Amino acid sequence: MASSTRDSESEDEIRLWREGDGWVITDVETGVTTQGDTREEALEMLDEAVALHKGDIGHEPTDEELRELGIDPADNSTGEKELPDFMQ
């Protein structure tokens, strides 16, 4: 297992290691983990995953976007139910 920083401007610690034919990478601060076929791909995937985790990119889908995907917006709700643990 290797430990490194993503860039010289930040002190974000990451863990990067080989697993099978690919690379697995974890952002220590957030706990976000992803993988890629190459080290570069794993780093790119981690950057995107951390940005999504922090809410820096992405958005909640609109009703129209859901309909385009064949999802009824009325069914896209937890209602009174609690979110699953992994979503909290």
Number of structural domains, the chain? Answer: 1
CATH number at residue 31: 3.30.160.250
Burial class (CB in 10 A: 0-12, 13-18, 19+), 82: exposed
Residue 27 within a domain: yes
This prediction has a pTM of: 0.61
CA distance 45 to 27: 11
Residue 81 lies in a domain: no
Establish if 55 belongs to a structural domain: yes
For 18-67, how does the pLDDT look when each residue is reduced to its tens digit (9 = 90+)? 999 999 999 999 999 999 999 999 999 999 999 999 989 988 889 999 99
